[in-house]
Amino acid sequence: MTDLTLTTSEEELEEGLTRNIEAFLKELGEDFAFLGRQVPIKIKGDTYSIDLVLYHRGIPCVIIVELKAEGLSGSAVGQVNEYVEYYRLNRQYSHEQDAIGLIICQEADKEKITYVLGGLKERIFIATYKAKLPSDEKIKKAIKKLKK
């Protein structure tokens, strides 16, 4: 995978991940599938673009991925929550679990995560990216936590 730097923009991060989508999905785990990039949704006449939409066959559910080049913010959590709820109400099939959100950002500390997620800890997850990705073992452990 292409090394990312701390100055990587959201567009560069997204481009790097999608250019190497097969490797990215393998790092997440074998049950992930790529559904789209910049997926448009319309809410009350406004069009929004979801950075990445993944699917997990084992759960099964849609995973809304928001990429942030900066640190975690409450507005990012609100944005992802809106997208997750949109999917639940408009695009979810009866056999699927509720969509979940994944915010991949440059920085997020535990205190900030506690406050911005509040009661959303079952629906939205936070991951930080680094110039080099963690080991396959660490990623697999994180994915197992998602399944619980």
Looking at residue 25, what is its pLDDT?
84
Looking at residue 147, what is its pLDDT?
63
Task: Phi first, then psi: give them for residue 42, nearest 5 degrees.
Answer: -115, 125
How many Å apart are CA 41 and CA 45, to the nearest integer?
Answer: 10
- Domain ranges in the chain are 10-147
Looking at residue 1, what is its pLDDT?
42
Looking at residue 128, what is its pLDDT?
67
Assign domain 10-147 one CATH number from 3.40.1350.10, 2.60.40.10, 3.50.50.60, 3.40.710.10.
3.40.1350.10
Q: For every one of its 148 residues, what pLDDT tens digit does the chain have, with 9 covering 90 and above?
A: 445 555 568 888 778 777 778 888 888 888 999 999 999 999 999 999 999 999 999 999 999 999 888 888 888 888 999 999 999 999 999 999 999 998 888 777 777 777 777 767 666 766 666 555 567 777 777 777 766 5
The structure tokens listed for 119 are 């009661």
Looking at residue 60, what is its pLDDT?
94
Burial of 122 (0-12, 13-18, 19+ CB in 10 A): exposed
